[in-house]
C-alpha cells in the first residue's frame, strides 16, 4: 500500500471504481473494505496502472456504488432500481449494514415523520397488536401466531405458543421476543402462558411457569412488561382465582414473585403494564370495556409488596356523557399518567397525589372526535379504540385512521399522521426510531420514520 492517502482501484463485478485509501479506511478496520487496505492484512495486487493498488471483488457493482457514495459523503442515496433487500445483502457482505441502517433515518421526531413503507400481512384475520423491535423491525400478532419482520420489513419465521390466541408480545432485546398466549380450556394440556423465542430464528428458548403453593399451575397471561433489572412481568389469571401479576427472572427463567390481586384492585385482567424507572413501580391498568370500570395501580415489588398508588372511576357520577378510560400510559416525566376516553379526550392524573386526589384533568377534543366518528360510521368504516404512547418528550394518540402528535409541556397538537387507506388503526408502537401503525381492516402495517436532517 502506498500509504493511507493513496489511490485505490476496485473492479467490482466488471465495473471499475477509483477512490482513496482513507475513504475505504473510514469504513472501519472491522469491515471488509477497511481490512482490505490495512497493511497488515493485504497489500493489493501492486501492479495496477500508475502504481495504484487494484483489487477485484466479485459482487454487485450497482450496490457498491451506493455504499461507496455513503463512505464518501455520509449520506445514503438509493436509486429506484436498487432493491432494499439486495442493498442490505451487499452491505452485510462488506460489513456496512449498521452504517446503512443508521443513515436511513435520523433521530425520531413525531413532527417530521414520513411514510417509508406499507406492508400487507399474509395471515388470515385481523392483526391484534404490533410491537416495535429495538433494531428497527417489528412483530405483529395475528390470532395464534406472531409474525416477525426485520428492519427492512422482510418476514422472518413466525412464532407461536401451541397456536393459542396471542394476547401480547414484547421485545426483551432485538434477539429475544416474549409472547403471552391465553390458555384454551378443555384441551387437557397446559397450553398458552408466557414464553421467550428467538426473534431471529423463531426457536422456542424458554417457557415461563407459574407456581402457587409449590404446584405449577396453568394460567392465561394478559399484558407484558419488563424492568431494567432483567425482570419480566405479566398479568395472570389462573383457573382457581389466582389473579395477579407474575414475575420472572429473564436470566434464569424462574418465577421470582407473584403479586396477588388485593380486594378492589383488578390486576389479573390488566391489559396494560408499564415499568416506571423513576419510582421503581409497575403500572397496571385494567380498562373499559374489559371491565365495567377502570382501575390503574402502581405496584411496589420491594421488600413489602404494596399498592403504592391507585385510581379508579368506580363511584364516578354517571351522566349522559360518561367518560370511560380506554387506554393509559405513564408519562416520561415520571409524575403523571395520561389516559384517553371513548370521545378521544386526553386526561392526566398526578401520581404524586394520594389516591389520585383531584381526579382526571380532561382536555376536551370530543366535538372534533364525534364529527370524525360520525363520518366514519356514515361510510360504513369500522372504528377502533384509541391507543397512547409517549416517546422523546412527545405524546401520541391514535384515533380512527390518524395518529395525533402532541409536543411541549402543555401537550399542544403539533402534527397528525395518516398513512395508507387501510381502515382504522387498532394499535401502534414506537421503537428503533420508527413508528409502526397496524390497520384493522386490511391487515396492513404502515412504517413511519424520520428523514435524516438536510445536508444544507
pLDDT in tens, 28-72: 988 999 888 775 555 555 455 656 678 899 999 999 999 999 999
CA–CA gap between residue 389 and residue 131 (Å, rounded): 12
Identify the pLDDT of residue 377: 53
Give the lowest-confidence range in 216-220, 270-274, 280-284: 216-220
Identify the pLDDT of residue 44: 53
3-state secondary structure 355-424: HHCCCCEEECCHHHHHHHHHHHHHCCCCCCCCEEEEECCEEEEEECCEEEEEECCCCEEEEEECCCCCCC
Closest residue by Cα to residue 108 from 74, 140, 134: 134
Identify which of 69-73, 241-245, 318-322 has the greatest average pLDDT: 69-73
Residue position matching grid coordinates 423513576: 278
DSSP state of 318: P
Classify the C-alpha dihedral 315-321-325-331 as positive or negative: negative
**318 pLDDT above the threshold of 60:** no
Beta bridge partners of 65: none
Residue scoring higher pLDDT (255 or 229): 255
Q: Is residue 123 part of a domain?
A: no
Alpha-helix runs per DSSP H in 79-175 = 84-94, 97-104
Q: Is residue 20 part of a domain?
A: yes
Identify the pLDDT of residue 3: 44
CA–CA gap between residue 225 and residue 271 (Å, rounded): 11
CA–CA gap between residue 288 and residue 271 (Å, rounded): 10
Helix (H, G, I), strand (E, B) or coil at 261: coil
Number of domains in the chain: 1
Per-residue pLDDT band for 372 (boundaries 50, 70, 90) equals: low
Q: Is residue 95 part of a domain?
A: yes
CA–CA gap between residue 222 and residue 227 (Å, rounded): 17
**145 pLDDT above the threshold of 60:** yes
Classify the C-alpha dihedral 351-354-356-357 as positive or negative: negative
Closest residue by Cα to residue 290 from 327, 261, 318: 327
Peptide bond into 289 cis (omega under 30): yes
Q: Is residue 442 part of a domain?
A: no
Give the lowest-confidence range in 140-144, 157-161, 169-173, 373-377: 373-377
Q: Which three cell numbers stand for residue 367?
A: 366535538
- Integer distance in angstroms from the first to the last C-alpha of the chain? 35
Helix axes 84-94, 61-73, angle to 10 degrees: 70
Q: What is the mean pLDDT of the chain?
A: 86
**150 pLDDT above the threshold of 70:** yes
Identify the pLDDT of residue 455: 66
CATH number of the domain encompassing residue 66: 3.30.710.10
Q: What is the pLDDT of residues 3-27, one digit of tens each?
A: 445 889 999 999 999 999 999 999 9
Q: Is residue 77 part of a domain?
A: yes
Identify the pLDDT of residue 4: 44
Q: Is residue 341 part of a domain?
A: no
DSSP state of 50: G
Do 283 and 328 form a contact (C-beta atoms < 8 A)? yes
pTM of the model: 0.86
What is the number of other CB atoms lying within 10 angstroms of the CB of residue 445? 27
What is the number of other CB atoms lying within 10 angstroms of the CB of residue 248? 25
Classify the C-alpha dihedral 399-434-415-275 as positive or negative: positive
Identify which of 114-123, 169-178, 446-455 has the greatest average pLDDT: 169-178
Give the lowest-confidence range in 18-27, 196-205, 311-320, 421-430: 311-320
Q: What is the pLDDT of residues 291-313, one digit of tens each?
A: 788 899 999 998 778 999 999 88
Q: Is residue 116 part of a domain?
A: no
Residue scoring higher pLDDT (317 or 451): 451
The strand order across the sheet containing 231-238 reads: 219-226, 231-238, 243-249, 255-260
Identify the pLDDT of residue 355: 62
Q: Is residue 456 part of a domain?
A: no
Identify the pLDDT of residue 2: 45
Closest residue by Cα to residue 246 from 280, 211, 294: 211
Do 425 and 431 form a contact (C-beta atoms < 8 A)? no
Per-residue pLDDT band for 179 (boundaries 50, 70, 90) equals: very high
**324 pLDDT above the threshold of 50:** yes
Classify the C-alpha dihedral 379-380-385-388 as positive or negative: negative
Closest residue by Cα to residue 131 from 178, 64, 200, 96: 178
* Pairing outcome for strands 434-439 and 444-450: antiparallel
Which domain covers residue 61, as residue numbers?
A: 7-40+53-104
Do 8 and 53 form a contact (C-beta atoms < 8 A)? yes
**236 pLDDT above the threshold of 50:** yes
Residue scoring higher pLDDT (318 or 361): 361
**126 pLDDT above the threshold of 80:** no
Identify which of 44-58, 96-110, 350-364 has the greatest average pLDDT: 96-110
Amino acid at each position: 500500500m502506498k500509504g493511507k492517502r493513496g489511490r485505490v482501484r476496485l473492479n467490482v463485478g466488471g465495473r471499475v471504481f477509483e477512490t482513496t485509501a482513507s475513504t475505504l479506511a473510514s469504513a472501519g478496520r472491522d469491515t471488509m473494505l477497511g481490512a482490505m487496505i490495512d497493511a497488515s492484512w493485504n497489500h493489493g495486487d501492486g501492479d495496477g496502472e500508475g502504481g495504484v493498488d487494484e483489487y477485484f471483488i466479485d459482487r454487485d457493482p450497482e450496490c457498491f456504488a451506493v455504499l461507496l457514495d455513503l463512505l464518501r459523503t455520509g449520506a445514503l442515496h438509493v436509486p429506484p432500481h436498487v432493491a432494499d433487500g439486495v442493498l442490505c445483502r451487499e452491505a452485510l457482505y462488506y460489513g456496512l449494514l449498521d452504517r446503512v441502517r443508521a443513515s436511513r433515518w435520523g433521530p425520531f421526531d413525531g413532527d417530521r415523520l414520513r411514510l417509508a413503507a406499507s406492508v400487507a400481512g399474509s395471515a388470515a384475520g385481523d392483526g391484534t397488536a404490533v410491537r416495535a423491535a429495538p433494531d428497527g423491525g417489528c412483530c405483529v400478532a395475528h390470532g395464534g401466531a406472531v409474525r416477525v419482520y426485520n428492519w427492512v420489513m422482510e418476514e422472518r419465521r413466525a412464532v407461536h405458543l401451541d397456536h393459542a390466541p396471542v394476547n401480547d408480545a414484547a421485545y426483551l432485546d432485538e434477539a429475544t421476543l416474549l409472547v403471552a398466549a391465553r390458555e384454551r380450556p378443555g384441551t387437557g394440556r397446559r397450553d398458552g402462558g408466557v414464553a421467550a423465542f428467538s426473534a431471529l430464528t423463531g426457536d422456542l428458548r424458554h417457557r415461563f411457569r407459574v407456581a402457587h403453593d409449590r404446584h405449577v399451575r396453568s394460567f392465561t397471561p394478559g399484558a407484558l412488561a419488563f424492568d431494567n433489572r432483567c425482570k419480566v412481568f405479566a398479568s395472570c389469571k389462573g383457573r382457581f382465582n389466582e389473579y395477579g401479576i407474575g414475575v420472572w427472572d429473564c436470566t434464569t427463567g424462574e418465577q421470582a414473585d407473584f403479586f396477588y390481586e388485593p380486594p378492589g384492585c383488578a390486576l389479573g385482567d390488566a391489559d396494560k403494564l408499564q415499568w416506571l424507572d423513576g419510582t421503581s413501580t409497575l403500572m397496571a391498568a385494567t380498562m373499559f370495556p374489559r371491565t365495567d370500570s377502570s382501575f390503574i395501580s402502581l405496584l411496589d415489588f420491594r421488600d413489602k409488596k404494596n399498592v403504592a398508588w391507585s385510581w379508579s372511576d368506580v363511584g364516578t357520577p354517571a351522566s349522559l356523557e360518561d367518560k370511560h378510560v380506554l387506554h393509559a400510559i405513564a408519562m416520561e416525566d415520571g409524575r403523571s399518567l395520561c389516559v384517553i376516553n371513548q370521545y378521544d379526550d386526553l386526561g392526566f392524573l398526578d401520581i404524586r397525589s394520594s389516591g389520585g386526589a383531584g381526579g382526571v384533568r380532561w382536555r376536551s377534543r370530543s366535538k372534533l372526535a364525534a364529527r370524525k366518528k360520525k363520518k366514519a360510521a356514515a361510510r360504513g368504516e369500522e372504528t377502533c379504540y384509541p391507543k397512547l404512547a409517549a416517546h422523546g418528550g412527545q405524546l401520541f394518540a391514535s384515533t380512527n385512521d390518524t395518529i395525533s402528535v402532541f409536543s411541549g409541556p402543555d401537550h399542544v397538537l403539533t402534527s397528525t399522521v395518516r398513512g395508507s387507506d387501510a381502515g382504522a388503526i387498532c394499535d401502534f408502537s414506537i421503537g428503533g426510531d420508527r413508528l409502526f401503525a397496524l390497520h384493522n381492516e386490511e391487515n396492513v402495517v404502515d412504517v413511519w420514520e424520520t428523514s435524516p436532517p438536510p445536508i444544507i
